[in-house]
Amino acid sequence: MKLAISQSSLPGPDDITCVELSNGITVLARSNFNSPSVTVSGYLAVGGLFDPDEKLGIGDFVSAALMRGTEKRDFQGIYQALESVGASLSFSGATHTTGFGGKSLAEDLPLLLELLSEGLRQPVFPEQQIERLRAQLLTGLTLRAQDTRDMAGLTFDQMVYKGHPYSRPEDGYPETIQSITRQDLVHFHKKHYGPRGMVVAVVGGVSPEEAVERVRAALGGWENPDQPDPPQLPSVAPLEKVISQRVEIPGKSQADIVVGAAGPPRKAEEFFEAALGNSVFGQFGMMGRIGEAVREKAGLAYYAFSQMSAGIGPGPWSVSAGVNPDNVEKAIDLIRAEIKRFVTESVAEDELSDSKANFIGRLPLALESNGGVAGALLNLARYDLGMDYYQRYAGLVEAVSPEGVLAAASKYLHPDKLAVAVAGP
């Protein structure tokens, strides 16, 4: 059964404005005059890839400090300005980029962009605020060390991406966060923050022309001639056998398991085959085949699902499960058996059709809000998908065959070449 989507409701070349400013910032805008508000989202080309090993987490630290005080406003002044008009603004660090997102009434867009510009261009990293932030970051790392799910994921990344930047946690380690000085933050910001490669999406009750001019007024004069290009991402060495690692966390009543390998990047030709295959395997309904086999039938897990995190580089394709510590080996054996079935037998037509209908049907839901549309526009830029991508989307999904799913699954997953991470008592 084919599910039709009204093409006119989807973002496309006719209603997305894309302008590159003279300093390298790309502005994407789409109006929605049914909404009195406006969403501003985007990213800069600076992230954890730039972190030196001995200062791991500095990119995340800097992004978290941008709202702690600027040349024009202190911490309280920033939040008072936002709260006075019911607006919001935040920054977040990631591996490849530093993201930002804000929301306000359309009439307050100039103030929102002014605060965004101040945070990006004029942070002052006040000593007292930095120490408070450091304490919060260290508390988060202490909690991470006691979280079986987090530690299983961290250990999995270290095995799959050994010697690769993806093996490193963006939030660093306690010793690296302790070693970062205020001057380190100032230097990192001065060197790496700049307009080249930056993308800003503006969606809501404002015309695209006004949106572009507002961004130009706030950020068009920003320059950093020394801004470095993002480092080249090395290839990931494929696993040659099953490797396992356990992290002991005393006093826990649950063990968490992550099993898998490196998957495709977002721009891989077989992305849709892998994504739909993953839906059948461990996402759709009650978490697909994995949920059915490990949780529902065998009763071995509190939760069990698969995920494929395709991004700029080859993100992980993995199965996660939370189990009674006594059931760890049984659960791992059953997961590996399901992986073997997934990479040797084609998915059934009805399984694939259900997932296709789900993918196509949920797209309009994801685009119901200004924030959803802004995120969609950013994906067009981040992965160079083309302005007509969402209008082609249903066709791309419908074109996937069981044979294509099997080819994609067998390319990235092998039951005898997996990383197995366990964290628990």
Model pLDDT, residue 294: 86
Model pLDDT, residue 8: 65
DSSP strands (E only) in 193-324: 199-204, 243-248, 255-262, 301-308, 316-323
In angstroms, the CA 190 to CA 196 distance is 14
Q: What is the torsional sign of CA 201, 205, 208, 212?
A: negative
pLDDT in tens, the chain (425 residues): 455 566 668 999 999 999 999 999 999 999 999 999 999 999 999 999 999 999 999 999 999 999 999 999 999 999 999 999 999 999 999 999 999 999 999 999 999 999 999 999 999 999 999 999 999 999 999 999 999 999 999 999 999 999 999 999 999 999 999 999 999 999 999 999 999 999 999 999 999 999 999 999 999 999 999 999 999 999 999 999 999 999 999 999 999 999 999 999 999 999 999 999 999 999 887 788 898 888 888 888 899 999 999 999 999 999 999 999 999 999 999 999 999 999 999 999 999 999 999 999 999 999 999 999 999 999 999 999 999 999 999 999 999 999 999 999 999 999 999 999 999 99
Q: Are 169 and 154 in contact (CB under 8 A)?
A: yes
Burial profile 220-243: b = 16 or more Cβ within 10 angstroms, e = fewer: bebebeebeeeeebeebeebeeee
Separation in Å, CA 72 to CA 2, 69, 131: 55, 8, 21
- Domain ranges (residues) in the chain: 13-219, 243-424
In angstroms, the CA 116 to CA 216 distance is 13
Q: What is the torsional sign of CA 364, 278, 239, 246?
A: positive
Give the homologous superfamily in CATH for domain 243-424: Metalloenzyme, LuxS/M16 peptidase-like (3.30.830.10)
In angstroms, the CA 185 to CA 133 distance is 12
Six-digit token string for 170: 């963006």
Six-digit token string for 351: 């399984």
In angstroms, the CA 36 to CA 364 distance is 20
Model pLDDT, residue 6: 63
Burial profile 160-181: b = 16 or more Cβ within 10 angstroms, e = fewer: bbeebbbebbbbbbeebbeebe
DSSP codes, 13-71:
TTT-EEEE-TTS-EEEEEE-TT-SEEEEEEEES-SGGG--GGGTTHHHHHHHHTTSBBS
CATH number given to 13-219: 3.30.830.10
Six-digit token string for 166: 């993806």
Model pLDDT, residue 285: 78
127 burial via Cβ count (<10 Å: 0-12, 13-18, 19+): exposed
Confirm whether 13-219 and 243-424 share one CATH topology.
Answer: yes
